Structure 1
Amino acid sequence: MSVAPKASTPSWPTPPEGGWTADDLDRLPNLPPHTELIDGSLVFVSPQTFFHVRTASFLEWQLQSVAPADLEVVREFTIDIDRQNRPEPDVVVVRAEEVDPQQTRFPAEAVVLAIEVVSEDSLSRDRETKPLKYARAEIPHFWRVENENGRAAVHVFELEPTTGTYTSTGIFRGRMKLDVPFTVDLDLTAIKARRVKDQ
């Protein structure tokens, strides 16, 4: 006679009624790195593509090298939008006075620029959900980076104060020159995300 196996209990966290809160993200044990909170739900990050990793690294280091001293560039750090939303942009530019070595998140009002590098599994979040939330939190600048056959296309948005929504100020491929939120002149072709055969 064989014994039926016992049903296993799920090892993932079960949400409380009303969903998780921003504070829960710091208290829940054994969460995968870079877990986000969107509308009270935990969002786990899928394995990242080479394009995603290379682009986020490029933007972090390039922006850090040109950012004014009163701004800090940080990679993969959550933002407190509200009680049920704590997204993690790929790169974020914040006021340096708001940086504390012990903190696990930035208040939305400290954020000057949020950057999302679009992945297949986060397409609608990066194009629709997150920009809407960043705009409602009054983050003045948002960049969305798309992979166009291994090359970066940076969609730049600025908060329109009368509507409280983002308006597009340009799409950049190859060279990216901006005056806000600070002076930027980037060679986007330096993001090498695929092998190019010699001709």
Structure 2
Amino acid sequence: MSAARDYGLDDDYQWPRPPEGGWTADDLDELPNLPPHTELIDGSLVFVRPQTNFHSRAIRLLDLMLLRQAPEELDVIREMTIKLNKRNRPEPDVLVFRADADAGPKQTWYRPEDVVIVVEVVSEESEDRDREVKPRKYAQAGIPHYWRVEENQGLPVVYVYELDPATRSYGLAGIFHNRLKLAVPFLVDIDLTAIDRRPPAR
């Protein structure tokens, strides 16, 4: 199978050639026919391979549960980019942001100062980015909470990090198996074993 087909593209797809100095965050909205969920990291385009059942189900669980539990002044969305700076525009799997930062249906990115939590669900091809590169960039941009989700025997394990504003780096606040229960940035209580179950009706 060709590399293009790996990303759901035709064999004759022409990969974008970067300009001198690399791509910018604004280029993501202008480049035609990019594969879904393309990110910009240090001026380079990052293409994401098709995701596993675990990855998709973990995103669904956290997206739905956070949306139910977040206070009214916050909102939750999945797979939207954050424009960290000119050369970095990653796409977290889930993010919690200030509801008044919603600019309408045409919006394609959020500012880091409007983001409260970023969640990355680790897959084989994203291990280095999700464990090292992205958290460092999120912290430098001042995003207060970072959650990394790993798979263990089919269930999510959530590593919760909080920002030290003095050093602009994350410290590990807890590792959660089976149940994610937090008091900050708001009350969170999620049954992680429910990843394969439909959530109950409200």
What's the Cα RMSD here? 1.2
1:122 pairs with 126, 133, 145, which one? Answer: 126
The percent identity for this pair of structures is 59
Question: Secondary structure, in 3 states, of the residue corresponding to 2:66?
Answer: helix
When Rg is computed on C-alpha atoms for both structures, the one with the higher figure is: 1
CA distance in 2, matches of 1:50, 1:10: 27
CA distance in 1, matches of 2:13, 2:108: 27
Partner of 1:177: 181
CA distance in 2, matches of 1:57, 1:63: 10
Partner of 1:136: 140
Counterparts in 2 of 1:1-199, with a 5 A limit? 11-101=14-104, 102-192=106-196
- Matched letter for residue 71 of structure 1: L
- Matched letter for residue 45 of structure 1: V
CA contact (8 A) 1:52 1:117 kept: yes
- Matched letter for residue 74 of structure 1: I
Question: Secondary structure, in 3 states, of the residue corresponding to 1:23?
Answer: helix
Q: Deviations over 1:40-96 (max 9, x none)?
A: 000011010000000001100000001000101000000000000000000000000
Partner of 1:3: none
CA distance in 1, matches of 2:183, 2:53: 29
CA distance in 2, matches of 1:54, 1:95: 25
- Matched letter for residue 22 of structure 1: A
Partner of 2:8: none
- Matched letter for residue 33 of structure 1: P
CA distance in 2, matches of 1:56, 1:103: 21
TM-score when scaled to structure 2?
0.90
Question: Secondary structure, in 3 states, of the residue corresponding to 2:63?
Answer: helix
CA distance in 1, matches of 2:67, 2:13: 42
Give the drift of 1:10: 7.2
Question: Secondary structure, in 3 states, of the residue corresponding to 2:196?
Answer: coil
Gaps of 5+ in 1: 1-8, 194-199
CA distance in 1, matches of 2:62, 2:13: 38
CA contact (8 A) 1:150 1:192 kept: no
Question: Secondary structure, in 3 states, of the residue corresponding to 1:68?
Answer: coil
Give the drift of 1:162: 1.7
CA distance in 1, matches of 2:47, 2:39: 7
Give the drift of 1:192: 2.5
Give the drift of 1:161: 1.5
- Matched letter for residue 43 of structure 2: G
Question: How many correspondences in the alignment?
Answer: 185
- Regions of 4+ moved over 2 Å: none
CA contact (8 A) 1:151 1:192 kept: no
CA distance in 1, matches of 2:70, 2:139: 22
Q: Deviations over 1:142-183 (max 9, x none)?
A: 000000121110000000122110000000001111011110
Question: Secondary structure, in 3 states, of the residue corresponding to 2:167?
Answer: coil
Gaps of 5+ in 2: 1-11, 198-202
